[in-house]
């Protein structure tokens, strides 16, 4: 049975800790709830915003529509054999709780994605990734309900059209599906451990740890805690911008002036460059303007020190965009969803 509340403060539901209100708000805990909601007049007459952990969005003002909090929970084993296990997790399950479930059971694949804020449902939405692993490599299917008809559709991995921080759910099917669960396949033995990201190997060496699912997860947690602000303490939404890709020729021309510029070759003579480095070169790292700012340890993360508004963050982001464009002729794209 669904309950629709009015004029709800969204402060507890977004990790940027922006004080904005939803005209209507409801929480959905079952697919049946969702189908009931689809026939409700408030749903039919207003725009909707589906919310998971609220960890990848910037609310720039009150939301004059219906916010639907995805609270579908549970982790179940779909199938297993000697070497792999396939798990289905409810979209409202916190991502990190799922990772810990896997680490505790020695299921391999998600350990590099430890401590990422947000929910299971948001993971395929933006193809979360960190330390050399992207969730697209583990996802088998995504189960989602059509937000107009209430029909369930099972998306294969290919149908999700995953890219770097991209999927079909963020692009052509935006707002058309409510992700209800995600099915992932993990290893039970012969784990493929990924320690290629420099800081992981360094942390394991410092701790004199042998690479294992548990030691990698612990190393990633330690690295994230050092570099990234805890949203429970300082409002933020992780990386605010995506890492841009530029032509090899532009990369080489910038490198003449900045020989230490990092870059990773991707497809078609393109180079991915860290937006954090570009932003730091423009002098933004650690800068504070009123109650918002750029994190002192990672320039890609914008923070709300307390009473910053969505507009304050947006205006800071625009100033950063303009200065990166001016200095390097590179256009940054936001990674967070601006609402």
Q: Which residues bind ligand EPU (CB under 6 A)?
A: 130-131, 238-239, 242-243, 262, 274, 276-277, 280, 285, 298-300, 335
The nearer residue to ligand EPU, 146 or 280, going by C-beta atoms, is: 280
Instruction: Tell me whether residue 335 is one of the annotated catalytic residues.
Output: yes
Question: Can you list the alpha helix ranges (DSSP code H) found in 12-78?
Answer: 31-38, 41-45
- SS3 at position 48: strand
Phi, psi (degrees; rounded to nearest 5) at 326: -65, -45
**Closest distance between ligand EPU and the C-beta of residue 220, in Å?**
9
Q: How far apart are CA 43 and CA 325, in angstroms?
A: 41
**Closest distance between ligand EPU and the C-beta of residue 114, in Å?**
10
Torsion sign across C-alpha atoms 199, 192, 273, 339:
negative
Nearest to 125 by CA among 337, 312, 305: 337
User: Of 55, 114, 217, 239, which is the active-site residue?
Assistant: 239
- SS3 at position 152: strand
User: Of 143, 165, 167, 215, which is the active-site residue?
Assistant: 165
**Closest distance between ligand EPU and the C-beta of residue 98, in Å?**
17
The nearer residue to ligand EPU, 8 or 324, going by C-beta atoms, is: 324
| Cα–Cα distance list, 242 to 54, 198, 264, 277 (Å) | 18, 20, 14, 12
Instruction: Tell me whether residue 212 is one of the annotated catalytic residues.
Output: no
Phi, psi (degrees; rounded to nearest 5) at 288: -125, 130
| Cα–Cα distance list, 252 to 19, 245, 276 (Å) | 44, 13, 19
The nearer residue to ligand EPU, 66 or 228, going by C-beta atoms, is: 228
**Closest distance between ligand EPU and the C-beta of residue 38, in Å?**
31
**Closest distance between ligand EPU and the C-beta of residue 265, in Å?**
14
- SS3 at position 73: coil
The nearer residue to ligand EPU, 127 or 180, going by C-beta atoms, is: 127
As a residue count, the chain comes to 339
The nearer residue to ligand EPU, 52 or 65, going by C-beta atoms, is: 52
Active-site amino acid positions: 165, 239, 335
């Amino acid at each position: 049975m669904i309950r629709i509340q009015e004029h709800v403060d969204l402060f507890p539901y977004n990790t940027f800790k922006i004080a904005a209100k939803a005209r209507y708000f409801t929480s959905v805990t079952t697919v049946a709830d969702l189908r009931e909601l689809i026939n409700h007049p408030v749903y039919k007459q207003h725009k909707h915003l589906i919310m998971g952990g609220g960890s990848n969005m910037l609310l720039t003002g009150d939301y004059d529509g219906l916010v639907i909090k995805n609270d579908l929970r549970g982790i179940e084993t779909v199938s297993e054999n000697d070497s792999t296990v396939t798990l289905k997790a409810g979209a409202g399950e916190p991502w990190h709780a799922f990772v810990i479930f896997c680490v505790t059971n020695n299921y391999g694949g998600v350990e590099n994605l430890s401590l990422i804020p947000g929910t299971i449902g948001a993971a395929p939405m933006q193809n979360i990734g960190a330390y050399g692993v992207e969730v697209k490599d583990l996802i088998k299917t995504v189960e989602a309900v059509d937000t107009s008809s209430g029909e369930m559709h099972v998306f294969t991995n290919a149908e999700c059209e995953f890219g770097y921080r991209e999927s079909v759910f963020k692009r052509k099917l935006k707002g058309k599906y409510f992700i209800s669960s995600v099915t992932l396949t993990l290893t039970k033995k012969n784990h493929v451990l990924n320690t290629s990201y420099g800081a992981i190997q360094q942390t394991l060496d410092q701790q004199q740890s042998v690479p294992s699912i548990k030691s990698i997860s612990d190393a990633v947690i330690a690295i994230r805690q050092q570099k990234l602000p805890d949203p429970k303490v300082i409002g933020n939404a992780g990386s605010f911008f995506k890492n841009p890709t530029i032509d090899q020729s532009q990369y080489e021309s910038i490198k003449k002036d900045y020989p230490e510029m990092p870059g990773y070759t991707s497809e078609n003579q393109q180079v991915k460059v860290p937006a954090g480095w570009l932003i730091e070169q423009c002098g933004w790292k650690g800068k504070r303007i009123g109650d918002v700012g750029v994190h002192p340890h990672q320039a890609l993360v914008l923070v709300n020190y307390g009473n910053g508004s969505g507009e304050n963050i947006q205006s800071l982001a625009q100033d950063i965009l303009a200065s990166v464009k001016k200095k390097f002729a590179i256009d940054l794209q936001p990674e967070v969803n601006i609402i």
